């Protein structure tokens, strides 16, 4: 029977990555000062499983490397070796190394083993000199080496331990197996001399012993394999026989055996079955006397290991899948059931409808509406995962970075169970990393400086997530020095981002860090200076229809607040009308809507109309022009101006009318048609018509430098 083991690889990789995550997070909990046994155990178990699986599924590089890790862990676990910080660091590096190797294997390429070899050497260096007694005990060196050619069989004297049956070892099965390996069959002779009087017979004990003659030339090790599981407790002698049934290595004992053997009849193994059969009925009785010890699982042991129970983000390359908890699926099935009931109810009603049943129809329809809403919510929930997946990398990151920068940092994570759409989660990971790096590098002061200013010497970075009205809010907060307004302003002036004489409020200065090409570090450091600025962070977040803002207080720290929609599949939209067409603006980007007043329009920069809105000038875009819906000259009466903010820039968009607000399901234009600049997607409205969803920052770019003059604006200028 051959089984293709590769079908289990995907599962193996998934659980191994999960195991590595567990190892990593538990390792971070571990400190040499306080070694928690359960933590070490959990780490050991994860390593052990990875090793076992890798060996089974043929990933020898992984298995060999993990073996070293496991051995060291085992020594620590068994208390043979005290945990040192060095070990923790080495383990963490090993986790990284294993992860890289397994990622390569998962993608079907050959893993890089140089790093593993190096780590293996380091692990071995630690282990060096320790006796690894656990290994190499599989085969006794005492194996008799008898002359091969003249050997014609074996005589095995088997005196089992009285308790042999209680371990589930049944002599009968061993004889059967022996029969299978013996070239010319076996003869079994039972010795019942030790059997007690019937009255004293304990059917659960094995008082019989046997002499088995194995006929044919086989190796002693083949016979030993059969008795492998009992050889430690039972008395077993092996005597090689020649063709005449005489012991090859004669001795007093062997001769006595030979005499016995000659008297022996060829007995089939049946007699052995008897004690077992007797044992069966006795079971219940015997069990009763012992039932005091039958106890259910220890309550303490019943606590589920949280790390195991939770689903994990799939890292397995392209084929993206999510694990959904059974609860969510069950609730879906429930709701579909409800929907079917409603449907059949409405169906019945429709068959012979009469206006007098209007009430029931409305009732049914409202039920249908409720079912649909609940179903929609449940389906959305499938994509929802706790933000702990995005947060989980930070303990490690903060630890490593803190070490690198020589800063003491506490990481506090709150609201880890806040759920978020999987796609949003994947896309928010990098911006979050950037923010945390930034807070650590620029936000927190050096330890010396903190002590100087009377702060706790270790800084605190807080990650917090919570839901707030249809949005998820993620905060990255540090208790560092706060943004240095003076330096930011100087830098911005230096780079020509603001005018030298600009008079900005502190809040406005804070916003400057989001401008393209801004870095406040005096020298570009290893940590943050990666060519990615806050502008990229902001852009990434804007792409998710989210916003980011910063609050900072000098001396007490800064907080970055990210607001994201819970999902990318549904959008809170403002419906607007232009030339009898409906368009949708993301509600989150709308600042205000006002009646358009032509006299406030100006045309300063040539053709681009702008409008003075309170103290600032904002560019004006006519949506009807962008989509070529109306000749330019045509006058617009009673137009509305929707002021929106995209890319930290306000623009005014002229539309004919504002319609309602509603949640819309986003359909991709790219998948169904092609990418259209200025449009982020489409949706289908209640009446079946398609409405385009406006991409606010995209539309701003689309009209950049393009004339979109508003008729009549010249005279106002």
Residue pair 62/48 in contact by the 8 Å Cβ criterion: no
Smallest gap from Cβ 121 to other proteins, in A, equals 19
Smallest gap from Cβ 24 to other proteins, in A, equals 17
Nearer to other proteins, 56 or 372 (CB): 56
**Checking DSSP bridges between strand 459-468 and strand 409-414, what pairing results, if any?**
parallel
Smallest gap from Cβ 198 to other proteins, in A, equals 21
Angle between helices 394-405 and 422-438 (to 10 degrees): 20
Give the Cα separation of 463 and 459 in Å (integer).
13
**Checking DSSP bridges between strand 186-191 and strand 209-215, what pairing results, if any?**
antiparallel
Contacts within 8 Å (CB) and 24+ apart, 482-486: 482/552, 482/553, 482/554, 482/555, 482/556, 482/557, 482/558, 483/509, 483/510, 483/513, 483/520, 483/550, 483/552, 483/554, 483/558, 484/520, 484/554, 485/509, 485/510, 485/554
What are the DSSP calls for 518-565, one per residue?
----SS--TTT-SS--HHHHHHHHHHTT-EEEEEEETTTEEEEEEEEE
223's tokens: 């016979």
Of all residues in the chain, what percent are helix, strand and coil, respectively (each to 5)? 45, 20, 35
161: closest CA among 227, 225, 220? 227
Q: Is 169 a catalytic residue?
A: no
Give the Cα separation of 558 and 550 in Å (integer).
7
Nearer to other proteins, 228 or 592 (CB): 228
Smallest gap from Cβ 86 to other proteins, in A, equals 22
Catalytic entry in 18, 26, 70, 645: 70
Smallest gap from Cβ 392 to other proteins, in A, equals 19
Q: How far is CA 303 from CA 299, 307, 631, 671, 704, in A?
A: 7, 12, 71, 46, 60
Q: Is 438 a catalytic residue?
A: yes
Angle between helices 60-77 and 85-106 (to 10 degrees): 160
Rounded (5°) CA angle 55-59-65? 80
Q: How far is CA 109 from CA 16, 96, 100, 332, 630, in A?
A: 17, 17, 11, 39, 57
Catalytic entry in 18, 24, 26, 48: 48
Angle between helices 85-106 and 9-29 (to 10 degrees): 160
Smallest gap from Cβ 12 to other proteins, in A, equals 4
Rounded (5°) CA angle 498-503-508? 70
Smallest gap from Cβ 299 to other proteins, in A, equals 10
Residues 6+ apart with CB under 8 A from 638: 595, 656, 657
**Checking DSSP bridges between strand 581-586 and strand 570-578, what pairing results, if any?**
antiparallel
β-partners of residue 471 are 468, 565
Q: Is 603 a catalytic residue?
A: no
What are the DSSP calls for 161-224, one per residue?
-TTGGGGT--HHHHHHHHHHH-TT-EEEEEE-TT---GGG--TTS---EEEEEEES---HHHHH
538: closest CA among 513, 559, 558? 513
Nearer to other proteins, 71 or 211 (CB): 71
Smallest gap from Cβ 267 to other proteins, in A, equals 20
Give the Cα separation of 442 and 436 in Å (integer).
10
Nearer to other proteins, 293 or 675 (CB): 293
Helix or strand holding residue 226 (H, E): helix 220-227
Smallest gap from Cβ 283 to other proteins, in A, equals 5
Residues 6+ apart with CB under 8 A from 386: 310, 416, 417, 418, 419, 420
Q: How far is CA 517 from CA 494, 520, 560, in A?
A: 12, 10, 19
Smallest gap from Cβ 273 to other proteins, in A, equals 11
Q: How far is CA 513 from CA 488, 528, 551, 647, 680, in A?
A: 7, 14, 12, 13, 27
Smallest gap from Cβ 45 to other proteins, in A, equals 5
Nearer to other proteins, 68 or 445 (CB): 68
Please state the φ and ψ torsions of residue 109, each to the nearest 5 degrees.
-110, 165
Give the Cα separation of 419 and 322 in Å (integer).
14
Catalytic entry in 438, 471, 540, 545: 438
Give the Cα separation of 714 and 604 in Å (integer).
10
Smallest gap from Cβ 15 to other proteins, in A, equals 5
Q: How many CB atoms lie within 10 A of CB 312?
A: 17
Q: In what order do the strands lie in the sheet with 616-622?
A: 590-595, 640-646, 649-655, 616-622, 608-613, 601-605
Smallest gap from Cβ 93 to other proteins, in A, equals 22
Catalytic residue positions?
48, 70, 438
């Amino acid at each position: 029977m051959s089984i293709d083991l590769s079908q289990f690889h995907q599962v193996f990789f998934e659980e191994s990555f999960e195991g590595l995550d567990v190892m990593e997070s538990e390792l971070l909990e571990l400190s040499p000062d306080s070694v928690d046994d359960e933590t070490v155990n959990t780490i050991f178990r994860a390593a052990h499983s990875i090793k076992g699986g890798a060996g089974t599924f043929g990933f020898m590089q992984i298995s060999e490397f993990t073996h070293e890790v496991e051995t060291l862990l085992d020594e620590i676990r068994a208390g043979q070796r005290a945990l040192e910080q060095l070990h923790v660091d080495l383990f963490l590096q090993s986790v990284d190394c294993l992860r890289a190797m397994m990622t390569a294997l998962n993608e079907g390429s050959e893993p890089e083993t140089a790093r593993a070899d190096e780590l293996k050497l380091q692990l071995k260096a630690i282990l060096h000199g320790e006796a690894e007694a656990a290994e190499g005990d599989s085969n006794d060196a005492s194996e008799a080496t008898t002359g091969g050619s003249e050997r014609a069989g074996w005589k095995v004297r088997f005196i089992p331990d009285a308790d042999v049956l209680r371990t589930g070892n049944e002599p009968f099965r061993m004889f059967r197996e022996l029969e299978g390996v013996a070239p010319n069959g076996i003869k079994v002779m039972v010795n019942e001399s030790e059997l007690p009087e019937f009255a004293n017979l304990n059917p659960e004990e094995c008082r019989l012993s046997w002499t088995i003659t194995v006929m044919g030339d086989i190796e002693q090790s083949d016979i030993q394999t059969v008795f492998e599981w009992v050889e430690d407790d039972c008395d077993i002698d092996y005597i090689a026989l020649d063709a005449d049934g005489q012991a090859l290595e004669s001795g007093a004992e062997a001769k006595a055996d030979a005499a016995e053997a000659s008297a022996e009849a060829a007995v089939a193994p049946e007699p052995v079955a008897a004690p077992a059969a007797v044992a069966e009925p006795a079971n219940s009785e015997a069990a009763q006397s012992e039932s005091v010890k039958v106890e259910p699982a220890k309550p303490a042991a019943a606590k589920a290991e949280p790390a195991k129970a939770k689903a994990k983000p799939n890292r397995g390359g392209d084929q993206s899948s999510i694990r959904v908890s059974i609860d969510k699926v069950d609730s879906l099935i429930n709701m579909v059931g409800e929907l079917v009931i409603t449907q059949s109810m409405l169906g019945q009603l429709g068959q012979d409808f009469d206006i007098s049943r209007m009430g029931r129809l409305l009732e049914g329809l409202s039920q249908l509406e409720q079912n649909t809403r609940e179903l929609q919510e449940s389906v959305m929930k499938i994509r929802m995962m706790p933000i702990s997946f995005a947060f989980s990398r930070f303990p490690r990151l903060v630890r490593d970075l803190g070490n690198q920068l020589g800063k003491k940092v506490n990481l506090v994570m709150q609201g880890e169970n806040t759920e978020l759409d999987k796609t949003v989660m994947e896309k928010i990971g990098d911006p979050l990393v950037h923010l945390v790096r930034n807070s650590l590098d620029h936000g927190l002061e050096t330890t010396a400086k903190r002590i100087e200013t009377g702060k706790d010497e270790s800084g605190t970075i807080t990650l917090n997530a919570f839901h707030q009205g249809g949005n998820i809010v993620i905060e990255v907060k540090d208790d560092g020095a706060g943004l240095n307004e003076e330096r930011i302003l100087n830098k911005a002036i230096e780079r020509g981002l603001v005018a030298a004489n600009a008079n900005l409020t502190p809040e406005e200065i804070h916003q400057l860090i989001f401008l393209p090409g801004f870095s406040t570090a005096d020298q570009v450091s290893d940590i943050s200076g990666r060519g990615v600025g806050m502008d990229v962070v902001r852009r990434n977040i804007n792409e998710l229809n989210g916003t980011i803002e910063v609050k900072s207080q000098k001396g007490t720290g800064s907080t970055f607040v990210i607001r994201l929609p819970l999902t990318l599949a549904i959008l809170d939209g403002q419906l607007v009308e232009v030339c009898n067409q409906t368009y949708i603006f993301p509600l989150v980007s709308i600042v205000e809507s006002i009646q358009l007043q032509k006299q406030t329009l100006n045309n300063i920069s040539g053709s681009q109309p702008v409008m003075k809105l309170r103290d600032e000038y904002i560019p004006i875009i006519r949506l009807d022009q962008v989509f070529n819906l109306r000749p330019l000259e045509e006058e617009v009466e009673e137009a509305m101006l929707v002021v929106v903010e995209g890319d930290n820039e306000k623009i005014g968009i002229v539309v004919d009318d504002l319609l309602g607000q509603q949640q819309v399901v986003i359909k991709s234009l790219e998948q169904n048609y092609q990418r259209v600049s200025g449009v982020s997607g489409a949706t289908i409205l209640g009446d079946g018509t398609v409405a385009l969803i406006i991409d606010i920052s995209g539309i701003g770019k689309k009209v950049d430098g393009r004339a979109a003059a508003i008729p009549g604006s010249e005279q106002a200028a």
